[in-house]
Structure 1
Amino acid sequence: MADSDAPTADLPECPSAQGGGLLPTELRAWMVLLAATGAVEQRLRAVVKERLDVSHDEFLVLCLLAEQPEAALRMTRIAELLGRPKTRLTYQIACLQHTGLVTRRSVCGDKRGIEVALTDKARSVLTEASDALAETVKESLAQFMGPAQREAMCGLVPDLVEETKGH
């Protein structure tokens, strides 16, 4: 069995989830969140490449655009939301445009503003791949997140459990 396929019980305990260190609960939870995110991204990269034939960073752009109620987002807003340099984003958007997954257009009344939107092709490809991508995320988190990690995550948002019980 490959390391990435090992059940959670075979994985070493995440040091940040153990507690007893110098970090307060919130920082310990943040470290668990980063580790979980890393585990998901590592497994998701291959599935994204296979199913969508785009890089992981390009996939994040597509996901961000797919979740917007409006059809388009300004490039500066995408860069801000993803924490990416604008020059790097320009290259990623050009790659996505070349493959027919996004369109770019000038913002009306703003010479420098550029809006990016998903194409119908991108919507179709994302819809077709979404079950496999969601399953990859779910499996990755299930593999990483044992009881100690879930408990540590509650340290980041302690009221979350109570809020969800009330609704």
Structure 2
Amino acid sequence: MTTRWLTPEEQRAWRAYLAATHLLEDAIDRQLQQDAGMPHLFYSVLANLSDAPERRLRMTDLAETLKITRSRLTYAVTRLERDGLVRREDCRWDKRSSLAVLTDEGTAVLERTAPGHVETVRATLFDRLTPEQVGQLEEIFTGVVRGLQGDATEAGDDVPWRRRSSCAPPPPAEP
């Protein structure tokens, strides 16, 4: 197989992407450490739980949403649990699963931290783009995500955050 090397334009775009993502992640992490004493991953756990029905998600579903391994999520949830921001519950319908639940204290931390987080995201990214560029950015990354999710679907359960159990209630019995 012949290596398809990047063109000079692709190489510049790739390096610009890497530099931007590293700098953005650093700026967001610094803001979240300063305002809430937590890294971006922990904030993302809280934010995803706040958007979930009843502020709870099955750990495996949360890992898949965040695109992280279950062990990395377990570490994050354990730390958040220790701080009283999240608690775990057993899944009634799947004894192999547990749920992460956002506590009232976690909600308060999220509400207190969100304005600074949004301002950092706006100042470091969106204030530097035109409305047309925002649309292009969304289109570009939506395409990348679709392609990568297709690759992950083809990989099946080889993707670290994927698991086939469900914590949805069983369907009602037929009368």
Q: What TM-score comes out, normalization by structure 1 length? A: 0.66
- The Cα of 1:102 is off from its aligned counterpart by 0.2
In the other structure, the counterpart of 1:83 is: 67
Structure 1 residues 147 and 32: alpha-carbon distance in aligned structure 2, compared to 1, 3 A threshold: farther
Larger relative contact order (CA 8 Å, sep ≥ 6)? 1
Structure 1 residues 139 and 119: alpha-carbon distance in aligned structure 2, compared to 1, 3 A threshold: same
1:107 alignment partner, one of 91, 112, 123: 91
Structure 1 residues 56 and 157: alpha-carbon distance in aligned structure 2, compared to 1, 3 A threshold: closer
**For residues 148 and 35 of structure 1, what CA distance do their matches in structure 2 show?**
22
Structure 1 residues 109 and 122: alpha-carbon distance in aligned structure 2, compared to 1, 3 A threshold: same
| RMSD (Å) for aligned C-alpha atoms | 3.3
**Structure 2 letter corresponding to 1:129:** T
Structure 1 residues 107 and 157: alpha-carbon distance in aligned structure 2, compared to 1, 3 A threshold: closer
**For residues 17 and 133 of structure 2, what CA distance do their matches in structure 1 show?**
9
- Contact 2:126 / 2:134 at 8 angstroms: preserved in 1? no
Q: What percentage of residue pairs aligned between the two structures are identical?
A: 31
Structure 1 residues 104 and 42: alpha-carbon distance in aligned structure 2, compared to 1, 3 A threshold: same
Structure 1 residues 147 and 35: alpha-carbon distance in aligned structure 2, compared to 1, 3 A threshold: farther
**Structure 2 letter corresponding to 1:103:** R
**For residues 125 and 155 of structure 1, what CA distance do their matches in structure 2 show?**
32
Name the stretch that deviates more: 33-42 or 75-84.
Answer: 33-42
5+ residue gaps, structure 1, are 1-19, 159-167
> What's the secondary structure of 1:109's corresponding residue?
coil
1:66 alignment partner, one of 50, 58, 73: 50
- The Cα of 1:155 is off from its aligned counterpart by 5.6
> What's the secondary structure of 2:9's corresponding residue?
coil
In the other structure, the counterpart of 1:97 is: 81
Runs of 4 or more above 2 Å deviation: 20-23, 30-40, 142-158
5+ residue gaps, structure 2, are 1-7, 143-175
Structure 1 residues 69 and 39: alpha-carbon distance in aligned structure 2, compared to 1, 3 A threshold: farther
- The Cα of 1:136 is off from its aligned counterpart by 0.6
